[in-house]
């Protein structure tokens, strides 16, 4: 029994877990961590005290072999001093925790004016990101930058997210950069992120949102200065319409097979069909490493071809396409590959 319970509990532990709130990588996550650890110690002290008293009482006043069954212990009702004591003491403990918690609530809800602004949309089952024109961060295109699944940010810079959802409640969570932020349809939620160092920080949707909730992962890619400038430049290039060959056939198929009804590509497919579900913007698809909620590797051609063959391989996926021939899949792949 002990072995079974330990096995279950210990599976939650890993010293090198990539997505651990116990290993903060930025100021907001650190602030939360610095609050969490003392609160855990306070809770541990309370636990030991309460359980200690229970264990003591159980052993000290247990029924002994020579006890007379008829002999009930002295009956009593209430103890005013004790009751006042165990009302006031927890109130003091909670008051103490509140003193440390309140500044954190304010810190995490600040709206710094110099932050990079990113609008985030939670959708079934992926995250979309929109960066408005912000010359200070190199974003000069009047249409800004639109991407999905991977949130790119400059390291060492505060990022202000504005989160919305058009379908159900999702929750944005990149544990090493900040806590969870629920995204409720009809509301706009502000949330902050910052990474100290360049790197890739994984995260996921943390509010059950449907069949593929567990497949709604995300990545935050923090760049150094040059890396950020390169990314911003690449994202502002207009996609070229392929003139000939497989890519040109793929471009035709993209309209014929209805892909353009759901997916936007800058300049070519500005407006998608009115009743289509929200779908990731594909203008710079191949600037990313992962797709479909970051569960598949975009560098593996087989993964993307398998996706076009059957988008339902991701359970509950809202992408619906008719059957494509292998030749069509090859052409579509050739076209998608040009979207860098
Ligand atoms: C009915 C709307 C719809 C149509 C039509 C559609 N898609 Fe999609 N597509 C989606 C949705 C929704 C997703 C996101 C699915 C998810 O991650 O759960 C998606 C994801 C993708 C992705 C992964 C993008 C990323 O960054 O995650 C690619 C590539 C893609 N679709 C290509 C195509 C191609 C090519 C076609 C035409 C053969 C097509 N789609 C037709 C809705 C659609
Ligand atoms: Cu979700």
Mean pLDDT computed over every residue of the chain: 92
CA of 148 to the centre of ligand 2 (A): 14
Q: What is the pLDDT of residue 268?
A: 77
Q: What is the pLDDT of residue 180?
A: 95
CA of 233 to the centre of ligand 2 (A): 30
Handedness of CA 300, 131, 228, 19 (dihedral sign): negative
Residue 71 belongs to a domain = no
Same domain? For 126 and 103 the reply is: no
258 lines ligand 1 (CB under 6 A): yes
314 lines ligand 1 (CB under 6 A): yes
Model confidence at 5, pLDDT cuts 50, 70, 90, reads confident
More confident residue, 18 or 41: 41
Same domain? For 126 and 228 the reply is: yes
145 lines ligand 1 (CB under 6 A): no
Residue 121 belongs to a domain = yes
- Give residue-wise pLDDT tens across range 114-138: 999 999 999 999 999 999 999 999 9
Q: How far is CA 288 from CA 31, 135, 176, in A?
A: 30, 23, 21
Domain count, the chain: 3
131 lines ligand 1 (CB under 6 A): no
The answer to whether 213 touches 59, Cβ cutoff 8 Å, is no
144: CATH: 2.60.40.420
317 lines ligand 1 (CB under 6 A): yes
Model confidence at 107, pLDDT cuts 50, 70, 90, reads very high
Same domain? For 126 and 209 the reply is: yes
**Host domain of residue 52:** 21-58+77-109
Average pLDDT over residues 160-168: 94
Least confident of 4-18, 190-204, 235-249, 308-322: 4-18
CA of 318 to the centre of ligand 2 (A): 13
Q: What is the pLDDT of residue 128?
A: 94
293 lines ligand 1 (CB under 6 A): yes
Closest CA to 280 of 294, 267, 268: 294
Residue 82 belongs to a domain = yes
126 lines ligand 1 (CB under 6 A): yes
Same domain? For 40 and 104 the reply is: yes
Query: What are the structure tokens assigned to 329, written together?
Result: 């899949």
Same domain? For 148 and 218 the reply is: yes
- Give residue-wise pLDDT tens across range 79-98: 999 999 989 999 999 999 99
Instruction: Please give the torsion angle defined by the CA atoms of residues 62, 67, 73 and 74, in that order, rounded to the nearest 10 degrees.
Output: -130
Nearest ligand 1 atom to alpha carbon 258: 5
Residue 128 belongs to a domain = yes
Nearest ligand 1 atom to alpha carbon 320: 1
In degrees and rounded to multiples of 5, residue 255 shows phi and psi of -80, -45
CA of 319 to the centre of ligand 1 (A): 5
Q: What is the pLDDT of residue 101?
A: 94
Model confidence at 202, pLDDT cuts 50, 70, 90, reads very high
Average pLDDT over residues 208-216: 96
- Give residue-wise pLDDT tens across range 44-82: 999 999 999 999 999 998 888 877 767 777 888 889 999
Same domain? For 36 and 104 the reply is: yes
CA of 219 to the centre of ligand 1 (A): 18
Check pLDDT > 80 for residue 238. Answer: yes
Residue 291 belongs to a domain = yes
Q: What is the pLDDT of residue 59?
A: 94
Residue 66 belongs to a domain = no
- Give residue-wise pLDDT tens across range 239-292: 888 989 999 999 999 999 999 999 999 877 777 777 777 899 999 999 999 999
């Amino acid at each position: 029994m002990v072995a079974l319970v330990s096995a279950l509990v210990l599976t939650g532990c890993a010293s090198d877990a990539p997505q651990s709130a116990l290993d903060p990588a930025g100021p907001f996550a650190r602030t939360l961590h610095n609050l969490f650890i003392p609160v855990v110690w306070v809770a541990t002290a309370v636990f030991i005290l309460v359980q200690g008293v229970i264990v003591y009482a159980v052993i000290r006043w247990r029924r002994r072999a020579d006890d007379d069954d008829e002999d009930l212990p002295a009956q009593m009702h209430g103890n005013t001093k004790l009751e006042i004591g165990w009302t006031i003491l927890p109130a003091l403990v909670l008051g103490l925790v509140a003193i440390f918690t309140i500044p954190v609530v304010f810190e995490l809800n600040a709206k710094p004016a110099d932050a990079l602004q990113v609008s985030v949309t939670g959708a079934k089952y992926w995250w979309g990101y929109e960066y408005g024109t912000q010359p200070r961060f190199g974003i000069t295109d009047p249409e800004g930058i639109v991407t999905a699944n991977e949130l790119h940010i400059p390291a060492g810079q505060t990022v202000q997210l504005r989160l919305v959802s058009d379908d159900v409640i999702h929750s944005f969570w990149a544990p090493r950069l900040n806590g969870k932020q629920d995204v409720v349809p009809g509301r706009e939620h502000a949330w902050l992120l910052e990474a100290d160092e360049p790197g890739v920080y994984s995260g996921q949707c943390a509010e059950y949102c449907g069949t593929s909730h567990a497949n709604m992962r995300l990545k935050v890619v923090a760049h150094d200065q040059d890396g950020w400038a390169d990314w911003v430049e690449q994202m502002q290039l207009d996609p070229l319409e392929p003139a000939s060959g497989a890519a040109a056939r793929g471009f035709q198929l993209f309209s014929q097979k209805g892909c353009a009804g759901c997916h936007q590509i800058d300049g070519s497919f500005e407006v998608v069909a009115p009743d289509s579900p929200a779908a990731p913007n594909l203008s710079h698809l191949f600037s990313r490493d992962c797709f479909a909620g970051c569960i598949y590797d975009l560098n593996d051609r087989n993964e993307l071809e398998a996706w076009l063959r059957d988008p339902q391989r991701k359970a509950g996926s809202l992408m619906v396409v008719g059957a494509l021939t292998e030749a069509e899949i090859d052409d579509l792949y050739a076209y998608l590959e040009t979207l860098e």
